[in-house]
Structure 1
Amino acid sequence: MKKRYIKPARSRNFHVITNTLLSIGVLLALLAIGLLAARSAHAEEAKSGAKAASTEKTLIIGAGAAFGPRYSGSDQNMAGPLLLLDYSTPGGFFASTMRGLGYGSTIGAFNYSAALGYRGGREEKDESDFGFSSGSTRLRGMGDIKGSASAILSLGYTPVEWLNLSVTADLALSQRNNGNALHFGVSSPFYSGPSDKLTLAATASVGDSKYMQTYYGVTSLQHQNSGYRAFKPKSGLYEVNASLSWEHRFDAKWALQTMVGATRLQGDAAKSPLASRRLSPNAAIYLTYTY
């Protein structure tokens, strides 16, 4: 009698990772082809002198306040100070409290950047980093998550003036067990006037198994120490975010920046025992000065 070959079952986790990697691979391939085409077009444009490159360095400083949950999934809100320092050169180098330390450039309709950044930690007490929350006493027994240095790699494409598509990888360099995340974004500056600019944006974020376990999982030891039920999330989509930004320029130097938005947990992140609520509001307002 012939033995029947039984195809081994593949887990949901396998399919999530495969589909994610396939999507990223296709996107990177399309971006690579586009970059080559854009580079050629950019070279021709440079020859004709159609676009003059900026030769000035830029320094932007800003201060204001931000509002949001104490940690991802928390039903406790907190407001804190927001400080901005952003320096960039015509050559593409930048140093920023929001973008990190790195290099970025634009080739035609494409833009890219690579930076060294910092991903904040999470504590099991009501602590704050630079005045803004990094934890809660509700996490007592979960242990602290240490902050980590991260590589932030980004590719963007602007097919038309009012639409920008992007993919950003947040890869842990230190504290590797904190895991990695990918952010797929779309934004549209749908109104631009002499003094005002309105922008709609949306982001979908995907985490690997380490990332999901770090921020939404509960190990057996954590279960014993905290009382939260043990939970092992799988890799995949963990949140979506939507926001509306308004920039008002008083003059060439001064500007007011405001943002209101909401973040909704998805998939296993929404099922985590640490997630007291799925939908969280966030907002920011700050004044900037450009040197």
Structure 2
Amino acid sequence: MPVSLRTFSLSLTSLCLLLPGDSLRAEDWHTTLRAGAASAPRYSGSDERVVAPLVGVEIVSPYGVFLDTSRGLGWGFDEEDFGLSVYVGASDVRKDRKTGFKGSDELNGMGSIKSRPVIGLDGTYHLGPLILGASFEHALEKDDDDHDTGSSWNRLKLSISAPLYEGRFGKVSGGLNSQFGDSNYMRTWYGVSDAQASRSQFRAYKTRTGLISRGADLTWSLPLDKQWSVSTVLAVQYLNHEAADSPIVERRLQTSLAGQVVYTF
């Protein structure tokens, strides 16, 4: 997944990993509603920004089956030291025209990257106060689509996070992460083929498998009562040279800010 609005969905969803283990073991049906807004780059590497609404729903059954608008349909569990979830969802998109909260006219001629099914696997391991995380996504190939924008790809995200403060003003946690992509991922999101170069303002650029970015995030969560809370996430991603050298990248340092109101019942 590129640095985009979807990054916030994952960041806000990962906030639940810092909650006590008992709250994650569903003994009954649990529903979480989220609503807020995010300020983020229009696409990974863009120097244009967009403020977009964030709306999400997560439903968790007593058996670990969940439906989450930020991930999809899946199953998961969380023990005292270890958590694991698998899911099927939809990949992010990138439009080559400014359309609502998506895309940019700067990408005119590059072709739109359409959503396709994604198979995901998330794992966490608690090491004292630290939480080690790994997230893997495999996007299926888009049938009858352009090779430059519809190929299957793989992305891996490794992270480490920890609570920094917990008291009357809520809870603050911080994390570091690194993201890696295979050759298809890098070509899809940062490459420029000869055909794309002929239709756009960019020169051709070939990419390789490797590190996409290194990043950090800071999350503040404030419970209002047993059901209501507010959360804010500040995320920073620094694109590695394989991605940063792409002619579509206008700014290597990508920053995003999101705030949400959360209601759980």
Settle same-fold status: TM greater than 0.5.
Answer: yes
Match of 2:246 in 1: 272
Q: Is residue 2:61 matched to residue 1:93?
A: no
The correspondence for 1:242, drawn from 206, 216, 220, is 216
Aligned-pair distance for 1:114? 0.1
**CA separation in 2, counterparts of 1:263 and 1:92?**
32
**CA separation in 1, counterparts of 2:226 and 2:167?**
14
- Name structure 1 gaps, 5 residues minimum: 1-52
Check 1:54–1:119 CA distance in 2 against 1; reply closer, same or farther (3 A cut).
closer
The correspondence for 1:157, drawn from 116, 125, 134, is 125
- Name structure 2 gaps, 5 residues minimum: 1-24, 143-149
Match of 1:173 in 2: 140
**CA separation in 2, counterparts of 1:116 and 1:190?**
32
SS of residue paired to 1:210 = helix
**Structure number having the greater helix percentage:** 1
Aligned-pair distance for 1:190? 2.0
**CA separation in 1, counterparts of 2:70 and 2:173?**
18
Check 1:240–1:72 CA distance in 2 against 1; reply closer, same or farther (3 A cut).
same
**CA separation in 1, counterparts of 2:127 and 2:244?**
34
**CA separation in 2, counterparts of 1:172 and 1:257?**
29
Match of 2:115 in 1: 147
Q: Is 1:213–1:232's contact at 8 Å kept on the other side of the alignment?
A: yes
Match of 2:88 in 1: 116
**CA separation in 2, counterparts of 1:134 and 1:174?**
22
Alignment of 1:251-262 (within 5 A): 251-262=225-236
For residues 34-63 of structure 1, the C-alpha deviation after alignment (integer angstroms, 9 at most, x for no partner) is xxxxxxxxxxxxxxxxxxx65221101121
Q: Is 1:178–1:214's contact at 8 Å kept on the other side of the alignment?
A: no
For residues 262-281 of structure 1, the C-alpha deviation after alignment (integer angstroms, 9 at most, x for no partner) is 11111310100010010011
CA RMSD of aligned residues (A): 1.8
**CA separation in 2, counterparts of 1:79 and 1:178?**
29
The correspondence for 1:189, drawn from 149, 157, 163, is 163
Q: Which amino acid aligns with 2:171?
A: K
SS of residue paired to 1:218 = coil
For residues 204-249 of structure 1, the C-alpha deviation after alignment (integer angstroms, 9 at most, x for no partner) is 1000000000100000011111131110011100112211100001
Higher relative contact order (CA 8 A, sep 6+): 2
Aligned-pair distance for 1:260? 1.1
Structure 1 segments (4+ residues) deviating >6 Å: none
**CA separation in 1, counterparts of 2:263 and 2:126?**
27
Q: Which amino acid aligns with 1:214?
A: T
SS of residue paired to 1:212 = helix
Q: Which amino acid aligns with 1:246?
A: W
Aligned length: 236
SS of residue paired to 1:229 = coil
SS of residue paired to 2:186 = helix
TM normalised by structure 1 equals 0.77
**CA separation in 1, counterparts of 2:220 and 2:249?**
30
Q: Is residue 2:255 matched to residue 1:281?
A: yes
**CA separation in 1, counterparts of 2:200 and 2:61?**
49
**CA separation in 2, counterparts of 1:90 and 1:199?**
28
**CA separation in 2, counterparts of 1:144 and 1:178?**
15
Q: Is 2:140–2:152's contact at 8 Å kept on the other side of the alignment?
A: no
Q: Which amino acid aligns with 1:144?
A: S
For residues 126-172 of structure 1, the C-alpha deviation after alignment (integer angstroms, 9 at most, x for no partner) is 014xxxx3311100111111111101111210011x21101111101
**CA separation in 2, counterparts of 1:227 and 1:287?**
41
Is the radius of gyration larger for structure 1 or structure 2? 1
Aligned-pair distance for 1:115? 0.5
Aligned-pair distance for 1:195? 5.7
**CA separation in 1, counterparts of 2:237 and 2:107?**
20
TM normalised by structure 2 equals 0.85
Q: What is the aligned-residue identity percentage?
A: 34
